[in-house]
Amino acid sequence: MNVAGDGVATSSTKQARIKDLASIEGIRDNQLVGYGIVVGLQGTGDSQQTTFPIQTLVATLLRLGVSVPAASIRVQNLAAVFVSATLPPFARPGTKLDIIVSSAGDARSLEGGLLLMTALYGADGKIYAQAQGPLVVGGYSVNVNGNVKQLNHPNTARVPSGALVERGVPLELAGKQQFSLLLDQADFKTAETMALAINDELGRQAAHVVDSRRVDLDVARGEDVPELLAKVEAIEVKVFPRAKVIVNERTGTVAIGGTVVLQPVSILHGGLSVTVVSHFEVVQPSPLSSGTTQVVQQTRVDAQDKPANRIELRQGATVDDLVRSLQTIGATARDVISILQAMKSAGALEAEIEVL
């Protein structure tokens, strides 16, 4: 079990730049996806039972002027793949993008493969980039006489700068009279503080709060928009984060923030252990009797009531006190989750519990 905390109760405010707290509406990434084939594999491609790679190869050869019946193709050095990329804002034709290539069939490895030209589509169905290039695989898979040696995931690869943007998403800043700043975490106090800081920095009433997540920013007549946005994003403001306890039951990790407030509480934590053990014994009949040898099941039930572990947190207890107390009683990840939920129900834990 890993328990993380800051150890000291701190103030509920901190300083952060606006660019780390919010994004500008409309200035965003866009997801791209495409389907293609990887060639040049050393017999680790899709098997003959996977038909769509052969169909893709036939269509590719036909576009290149080569007509080959699909039934006559027997290759295992190609694999059907999906290609994904992220189109950043203000990308122009010719901008290079990194791409991720993932096997869509039953290929064992994409090591040594070459991605043929693949069109990347946006959510609107239009082509925004073309991808092609040699794959970089962060692992391998070797299969000899049924013995398999594998490192990481060889069915997924990257192609650095493997895509070229053919069409950008139109976004013109010139002439815009207003922008909206969208907070990553909705909070009225942070939004109000952000608007006040922007107005103080610009010397005019340029920002006003719309709701707990949105702050509108007005552009003055003739003002340079990129310069304005750069100045606004660099402003540092006070933020008021929510008090949270993050619990990951799979890894046994518990993260407790410094804004968590603890109230006096006493906790008894224990359990009843019941063990049922069954074994079989061979029973022989008495001499000169007409009985037969039998196998009889013998069952033993052991019950052990474990002593309760006691935790006491007094007035002024910190996160460090809670962490040390949990470690002292040897609490497991499941124990910690139960204890924290019990403290939340009892009103002794003033924080939101988020289980991953």
Kindly tell me if the per-residue pLDDT of 342 is higher than 90.
Answer: no
Annotated domain spans of the chain: 12-26+172-239, 30-165, 243-356
| Range 297-305, long-range pairs (CB < 8 A, 24+ positions) | 300/276, 301/274, 301/275, 301/276, 301/277, 302/274, 302/275, 302/277, 303/272, 303/273, 303/274, 303/275, 304/272, 304/273, 304/274, 304/275, 305/270, 305/272, 305/273
Taking the alpha carbons of 57, 60, 62, 65 in that order, is the dihedral positive or negative?
A: negative
**In this predicted structure, what is the pLDDT of residue 6?**
44
What DSSP state is assigned to residue 56?
Answer: H
Name, of 22-36, 267-281, 340-354, the range with top average pLDDT.
22-36
Nearest CA to 14 among 189, 180, 213, 181?
A: 189
**In this predicted structure, what is the pLDDT of residue 316?**
67
d(CA 339, CA 179): 46
Kindly tell me if the per-residue pLDDT of 52 is higher than 70.
Answer: yes
What the block records as the tokens of 38 is 């990887």
Name, of 46-60, 128-142, 204-218, 300-314, the range with top average pLDDT.
204-218
Within 10 angstroms of residue 101's Cβ, the number of other Cβ atoms is 28
What the block records as the tokens of 136 is 């970089």
Pick from 11-15, 136-140, 269-273: least confident: 269-273
- DSSP-derived secondary structure for 171-196: ---TT--EEEEEESS--HHHHHHHHH
What the block records as the tokens of 166 is 């053919």
> Average pLDDT, stretch 174-203?
91
Nearest CA to 56 among 5, 118, 106?
A: 118
Q: Which CATH number describes the domain made up of 12-26+172-239?
A: 3.30.1360
> 145 falls in which pLDDT band (50, 70, 90)?
low
> 11 falls in which pLDDT band (50, 70, 90)?
very low
> Average pLDDT, stretch 148-177?
85
Residue 288, Ramachandran bin (φ over 0: left; ψ between -120 and 50: alpha; else beta): left
d(CA 163, CA 307): 63
> Average pLDDT, stretch 179-202?
92
Mean pLDDT rounded to a whole number for the chain? 81
**In this predicted structure, what is the pLDDT of residue 97?**
95
Burial of 351 (0-12, 13-18, 19+ CB in 10 A): buried
Q: How many degrees, rounded to 5, is the angle at CA 176 between CA 172 and CA 181?
A: 95
> 269 falls in which pLDDT band (50, 70, 90)?
low
Using one digit for the tens of pLDDT, what is the confidence trace for 315-331?
A: 767 666 777 777 777 77
Name, of 56-70, 83-97, 140-154, 260-274, the range with top average pLDDT.
83-97
What is the model's pTM?
0.67
Nearest CA to 80 among 142, 131, 155?
A: 155
Using one digit for the tens of pLDDT, what is the confidence trace for 89-144?
A: 999 999 999 999 999 988 888 888 999 999 999 999 999 999 999 999 876 666 66
User: Residue 342: what residue type?
Assistant: A
> 194 falls in which pLDDT band (50, 70, 90)?
very high
d(CA 339, CA 332): 10
d(CA 115, CA 99): 11
Please, are residues 326 and 8 in contact by the beta-carbon 8 Å criterion?
A: no
What the block records as the tokens of 82 is 């999906």
